[in-house]
Structure 1
Amino acid sequence: MSAPGLLVAAPRSGSGKTTVTLALMRALRRRGLAVRGAKCGPDYIDPAFHRAATGHDSVNLDSFAMGERLLDSVAGLATEGADLVVAEGSMGLFDGIVAGAGRTGANADIAARYGWPVLLVLDVSGAAQSAAAVALGCRAYDPRIRMAGVVLNKVASARHRRLVEDGLAKADIPVLGALMRDAALTLPERHLGLVQAGETADLDARLDRLTDLAEAGLDLDAILRAAGGEGPSPSGSGLPRPPGSRIAVASDAAFSFLYPHMTAGWRRAGAEIVPFSPLADEPPPADCDVCWLPGGYPELHAGRLASAARFLAGLRRFAAGKPVHGECGGYMVLGESLEDTDGITHAMAGLLPVATSYRARKLHLGYRVATLFADGVLGAAGTRLVGHEFHYASELSSPPDAERALARVTDAEGVPLGLAGHRSGLTSGSFFHLIAGETG
C-alpha cells in the first residue's frame, strides 16, 4: 500500500496555502516522518520551497495537462519512500477550466482521484462566523471530496478566533489549527510569484520559524489522523521519454524551471543529465547530444549572460551540429536580443530570429495545447503537446510563419491562438513550458 495524503487547499488565492503547507511539511519532518510534496497544476516556485522543507523533490499533478497514465506515474513519484504526501493546491479548490469530469485541472480532481482529504485554509481576516459559510460551501460543492477540517489563517486575536470557531462549530467543521496574523510569515515575491527558494535569504531560519508556529498553532496529531486515501504505487512507466541519451541542461539562478517528472522520466529511461551554468560562463558540454535551456529569470541576469562569451560561443558551436531547445527564458536567450526592465538591450545567442522585452510588461498566462510543425526534440511533426505559458515578456520581432514556427497552439478550451515559437536548423524554442506529450 502506498502512502496516505492530504491536500492543502483554499477557497481562493492568497489565503495562505503555501505558508500552511510549508509549516506542516517541516513540522512533520521534524517529527521524523518521511514527507513528500506535490503541487496541483503548473508551478515551478512552490515545489522548490517544498523541496527545501521536506528534503525531496516535489512533483506537479495536473488533471488537465496529464493523461491518467502520466498522472498516476507522477503521483507514484510522490509516494515513493513516503510516510505522507502533502499536496498544495493552486488558486481555489474548484478553480479550473471547463472540461470533462476529473479533467478540469482543479485541485478537487486530485483530491478525488487519490482519496486525499482536504485541509482547507481559511483567511479569516475581515470575517468571523461568516467564514463557516464559506467552509460549508466548499464541503458541500463537490461530493467526490472529503474535508478533513480547516486551518484558520490571519487570526487577529483570541476573541476573533472564538468567534470564527463558533460559526464552524455550528456547521460541524473541525478546526485543526490556527495561525495568527503575522507579516513576517510572508515570503518575498516578484513578477512570477515567490522569489525562488534558492534566492530567499535565511530560508532555513524562515522554515524553522514556520515549524515552531505549526507546532504551537496546528493540531498535528489530528491532522495526521485525518490523512487518508492513497496514491498509486511507484512505477514510472508513463513518464516522459528523453530527447537524447546525454542531455546538457542549463541549471543556475537564470535557468531553473524544469519539472521533476520530466527529469525523472529521462533518467529512468537511461538518459544522463549533465548540468552546466551559463551564469558561470560554462558552455554546454560537447560530449552531450542535446542541449536544453529551461525557463527561469534570464531577464534579471541579461547583462551577465550577454557577457558570458564562453557560454554563447559554446552554445553556437553546439547548435551547429546538435539539437538545442529553449523554453520561455531559454527561448529568449536563444534569440537575438533581450531588453530588460530598465530599457537596456542585451545581445543574446542569435540562434533564433527573436527579440524580447521586459520594459513594457504584459501577462501571458494559461494552458497551451501545441501541435508540432516538424520533427524535433519535442517529437515528430503532428505530435500534440500540452503545457502552459506564464511570462510578462513581449516579442518585438515579427511573428513566425508556418515555415519557421515551432507549433500551432490553442488554449485549454480549443480556442486558436495562432503560431508559436521558432525553429531554425537544429535549434527550436518557444514560451511554451512542456508538461506532457500526446501519450501522457
Structure 2
Amino acid sequence: MTYTSNFLISAIASGSGKTTVTLGLLRALRNRGLNIQPFKCGPDYIDTKYHVLAAGKESVNLDLFLSSESHIKYLYNKYSSDKDVCITEGVMGLFDGYDRMNGSSAQIAEKLDIPVILVLNAKSMAYSAAALLYGFKNFSDKINITGVIFNFVASESHYNFLKDACHDAGLEPLGYLPKNTDIEIPSRHLGLNIDEQYRFDDFADKAAALIEKHIDIDRLLSVTAKRESDAGVIKEINVPLQGLRISVARDAAFNFMYHENMEYLKRIGAVSYFSPLHDKHLPESDFVYLPGGYPELYLSELNNNRTMQDSICHYVEAGGKALAECGGMMYLSSSISDEDGTEYAMVNIFDQKATMENMRLKLGYRQFEYNGVLLKGHEFHYSSIKSEQQSVVQQYTAKGQPTDTKLLRYKNVIAGYTHLYWADMDNLMDLF
C-alpha cells in the first residue's frame, strides 16, 4: 500500500494564475526533497517544458480528445505509482472542454478520481467570491473540489474576507499569493538559451518562496492525500517492436514533442537525436521525425547548414520515411520568411513558402483519417504557408467541422501543421 498526494490545479478561467501556482508548488516541493510528478491537461507542449524546469522531471500530457480514457489512466498509473506528490495542471477553466465538459480538466479529474484545487483571481473581489465558489463546487457532483488558493490578493485583511467567502461556500481556503509584479513567467519562447533558463529559475524560486510563505503546503498535501491499493504490474501498451533506426530532430529550433510519443518510438526502435542547426549529416535512419519548435528564430543558421539540408534531401529522394510537424514542415518548405519578409532557403522538399509576416494565431484540435488510420492532433502556430499544393486529406475540428489545415505528402514524407498524438495508436508506420 502506498500513500500519495494527488491533485489537479484548475481555475475559474484562463489568466487566474494556475500556471504560476503549479510551477511554484513544483519548485517548492522539489526543494523539500519530495519525489514529484507533473502532468498537464490538454495538448500544450510549452507548459510541460516549464514543468520540467521547475520540477526536474518530465511532464506528461493527459488529453481526452487526443487519446482514450484507458490511455490517460494508463499514463497516470505509470508515472504516479512511485511518487510522493502528483500535480496535474489544468487547462483553461475547470469545466471548459472542446465540447461542453468533454475533454475538460473536470472530466480528467473525474476519470482519474483526483481532487481539484481551485485557483481564484481575487483582484477587485471580496465576499462575492462565495457565489462563484459555491457555483463551481455544486455544479457537478462528480468533481471533488477540495480547496481554494486565491491569487492577486491585496492584503491580509483582503484575504480574511476571501476566507469567509470560502468557508460559507463549503470549501477550505489553503492560502493566497499576493499582488506581486516581481514574478512573471518568462517568454513563451522559453528555454532557447542559457539566459532564459536562468530567468526561469529565478522566477520559479521566487514563486516557490511566496508559496512557502502564504500557502499552507502541509495542509494542501493532507487534504489531497489518497490511499491507493497496489495496482500491481503496469502493462505497457502493446506495440510491436520493429527494430527501426529512428532519428528525431531535437535542438533549440525543434523541440515541441509529446513525451509519450517519444516513449512510443523507443518501443518500436532505437531512437537517436540530431540537430538541423549544428549537425552536418542525418544519421542512418529508417524513420525521421521533424517536430515543431522555433525555426523562425534560427533562420540564418538553418539556411547556412546546407550539408544537413542536402542530407535530408538525399534521404527523402531515396524513399526514406519521415514525419514533419509545424516547424518541421516549415523547414521542409522551399523557404521561410521572417517578420520583415526576408527569405531564407530551406530544404525544398515541398514547393511552398512559409512566412512569419502578418503573424496570426491559428489553433485547435484536428482529426482526420489517412491510409485507414484515424489520427488526432492539435494545431498551434503564428506562421502561414504560401502554396498551391493540395492536401491529401480533409481535416476536421473536434466538433467535426472541416478546416483548411493541409496534410502534405511527397514520396514517403508526410507533413503538416498538425501536431499528431500517436502514443495511443496501434502502429504509426501504417501511415506510410
TM score, norm. by length of structure 1: 0.89
SS of 1:132's equivalent in the other structure is helix
Contact 1:38 1:88 in 2 (8 A): yes
Equivalent residue, structure 2, for 1:382: 372
Correspondences of 1:113-152 after superposition (within 5 Å):
113-152=111-150
Equivalent residue, structure 2, for 1:434: 420
| Superposed displacement of residue 33, structure 1 | 1.3
Contact 2:5 2:224 in 1 (8 A): yes
CA shift in 2, pair 1:131/1:242, >3 Å:
farther
Equivalent residue, structure 2, for 1:300: 297
Equivalent residue, structure 2, for 1:392: 382
Equivalent residue, structure 1, for 2:335: 337
Contact 1:93 1:106 in 2 (8 A): yes
Q: Distance in 2 between matches of 1:127 and 1:204?
A: 31
CA shift in 2, pair 1:392/1:234, >3 Å:
farther
| Superposed displacement of residue 236, structure 1 | 5.5
SS of 1:178's equivalent in the other structure is strand
| Superposed displacement of residue 419, structure 1 | 6.2
Contact 2:360 2:382 in 1 (8 A): yes
Contact 1:80 1:233 in 2 (8 A): no
For the pair 1:413 / 2:402, whether they are aligned, the reply is no
Contact 1:7 1:119 in 2 (8 A): yes
CA shift in 2, pair 1:30/1:244, >3 Å:
same
For the pair 1:310 / 2:300, whether they are aligned, the reply is no
CA shift in 2, pair 1:228/1:116, >3 Å:
farther
Q: Distance in 2 between matches of 1:241 and 1:40?
A: 28
Equivalent residue, structure 2, for 1:219: 216
SS of 1:279's equivalent in the other structure is coil
Contact 2:290 2:323 in 1 (8 A): yes
Q: Distance in 2 between matches of 1:84 and 1:273?
A: 30
Q: Distance in 1 between matches of 2:420 and 2:242?
A: 12
| Superposed displacement of residue 70, structure 1 | 2.1
Correspondences of 1:118-197 after superposition (within 5 Å):
118-189=116-187, 194-197=188-191
Describe the superposition over 1:117-163 as per-residue Cα deviations: whole angstroms up to 9, x where unpaired.
11101111121111222222111112111111110111112222222
Equivalent pairs: percent with the same residue? 35
CA shift in 2, pair 1:245/1:198, >3 Å:
same
Residue type of the alignment partner of 1:59? V
CA shift in 2, pair 1:325/1:242, >3 Å:
farther
Q: Distance in 1 between matches of 2:12 and 2:241?
A: 38
Equivalent residue, structure 2, for 1:91: 92
Describe the superposition over 1:51-105 as per-residue Cα deviations: whole angstroms up to 9, x where unpaired.
1122111000011221123222222343143112100001110101227x7xx11
Q: Which moved more, 1:76-85 or 1:25-34?
A: 76-85
Q: Distance in 2 between matches of 1:125 and 1:7?
A: 23
Describe the superposition over 1:29-60 as per-residue Cα deviations: whole angstroms up to 9, x where unpaired.
22221100000001111111111122111000
* Structure 1: gaps of 5 or more residues: 373-380
Equivalent residue, structure 1, for 2:205: 208
Contact 2:246 2:265 in 1 (8 A): no
* Structure 2: gaps of 5 or more residues: 428-432
CA shift in 2, pair 1:154/1:243, >3 Å:
farther
Residue type of the alignment partner of 1:24? L
Contact 2:242 2:268 in 1 (8 A): no
Residue type of the alignment partner of 1:427? V
Equivalent residue, structure 2, for 1:290: 287
Contact 1:239 1:264 in 2 (8 A): no
Contact 1:255 1:298 in 2 (8 A): yes
TM score, norm. by length of structure 2: 0.91
Contact 2:190 2:197 in 1 (8 A): no
Contact 2:336 2:355 in 1 (8 A): yes
Give the number of aligned pairs: 419
Residue type of the alignment partner of 2:209? D
SS of 1:38's equivalent in the other structure is strand
Equivalent residue, structure 2, for 1:378: none
Residue type of the alignment partner of 1:344? T
| Superposed displacement of residue 344, structure 1 | 0.9
Q: Distance in 2 between matches of 1:142 and 1:282?
A: 56
Residue type of the alignment partner of 1:27? A
Q: Distance in 2 between matches of 1:234 and 1:414?
A: 38
For the pair 1:424 / 2:402, whether they are aligned, the reply is no
Q: Which moved more, 1:228-237 or 1:87-96?
A: 228-237
